Amino acid sequence: MARLSVNIDHVATLRQARGITFPDPVAAAMIVEIAGAVGVTAHLREDRRHMQDRDIERLRESVQTRLNLEMALTDEMLDITTRIQPDICTPVPEKRAELTTEGGLEVAGNAAHVAKSIERLHGAGVPVSLFIDADENQIRAAADCGSDEIELHTGRFCEVRSGEARERELNTLRRGAELGHALGLRVNAGHGLNYHNVAPVAAIEGMGELNIGHSIIAQAVFVGLAGAVKEMIALIDKASRI
Ligand code: PXP
């Protein structure tokens, strides 16, 4: 059954907007765990636009479920990740000018660097979930590079409007999940998922964690964070049982 890991970056975004101490992402992590999420995800971006180094340290001290650290595969981020020891890390591509992570990591065309980085993370005892497009070459390359898990990028599925295009994107995700499983990878998914589009992704056979951030933090403005998390879990549970 698919499970929810909540990305709490945007709690920090709100705090950074005023440069003060609240809302505190660590307090948010405690609430999402108590509300039933199986994981807490945070992205330490190179430009520190939301999460700060100290947030990640405090999250490591406080998170009781599974702390998932998203990061770029740079020397600085590899140093931080091996020191912090998250329960899982998710390497993502990063561009300074983007509003949010735009595409999956280019693993196939960058295999030597990715494999070397994974070796370093494994050497420090940190498992890896590469964030990739549901593309056969990328999935096979992720397995070849030694990734433990993959997170399939759901952005395109979430963006398309027509029913036909959605079904096509959903089938791409289904095939990607199937291939990932066949290669022995745990398969997660995320990006752009919300209360209206999560069900078919949660229903994909063998789906692991769904990493969802913006829609939950946005809904929390209206119904509170615990309520927003519980609403999402209810949708995921219902879809997974079908
Ligand atoms: N997964 C990854 C790898 C991401 O980079 C993000 C965005 O930080 C998410 C999931 C969550 O995306 P959203 O905020 O659109 O739910």
pLDDT tens-digit profile of 175-216?
999 999 999 999 999 999 999 999 999 999 999 999 999 999
Around ligand 1, the residues with Cβ closer than 6 Å are: 7, 9, 43, 70, 90, 92, 100-101, 131, 151, 190-193, 211-215
pLDDT confidence of residue 102: 73
The active-site residue, picked from 43, 151, 153, 209, is 43
d(CA 16, CA 54): 13
Mutate to test the pocket of ligand 1, among 191, 201, 214, 236 (most ligand atoms within 8 A of CB): 191
Q: What is the pLDDT of residues 115-149, one digit of tens each?
A: 999 999 999 999 999 999 999 999 999 999 999 99
pLDDT confidence of residue 44: 98
Is 43 in the active site?
A: yes
In the predicted model, what is the mean pLDDT of the chain?
96
For 4, the token pair is 């929810």
Q: pLDDT > 70: what percent of the chain?
A: 97
| 43, pLDDT greater than 80 | yes
Classify residue 242 as exposed, middle or buried by CB count within 10 Å of its CB (0-12, 13-18, 19+): exposed
| 96, pLDDT greater than 70 | no
Q: What is the pTM of this model?
A: 0.96
What type of residue is 207?
A: M
Q: How far is the CA of 217 from the centre of ligand 1 (A)?
A: 12
Q: With the CA atoms of 130, 103, 178 and 159 taken in that order, what torsion angle do they form, in degrees rounded to the nearest 10?
A: 140
For residues 81-105, average pLDDT: 87
pLDDT confidence of residue 162: 87
| Cα–Cα nearest to 6, from 237, 228, 241 | 228
Query: Going by C-beta distance under 8 Å and a sequence separation of 6 or more, which residues neighbour residue 42?
Result: 7, 8, 9, 12, 25, 51, 55, 56, 59, 67, 68, 69, 70
The active-site residue, picked from 10, 33, 50, 70, is 70
pLDDT confidence of residue 242: 66
Which residues are bridge partners to 40 per DSSP?
6, 67
pLDDT confidence of residue 241: 79
Residue nearest to atom 11 of ligand 1 (CA): 191
User: Could you please report the per-residue DSSP string of 222-239?
Assistant: HH-HHHHHHHHHHHHHHH
| 98, pLDDT greater than 80 | no
Query: Going by C-beta distance under 8 Å and a sequence separation of 6 or more, which residues neighbour residue 183?
Result: 139, 140, 143
Paired sense of beta strands 88-91 and 129-132, if any:
unpaired
Q: How far is the CA of 212 from the centre of ligand 1 (A)?
A: 6
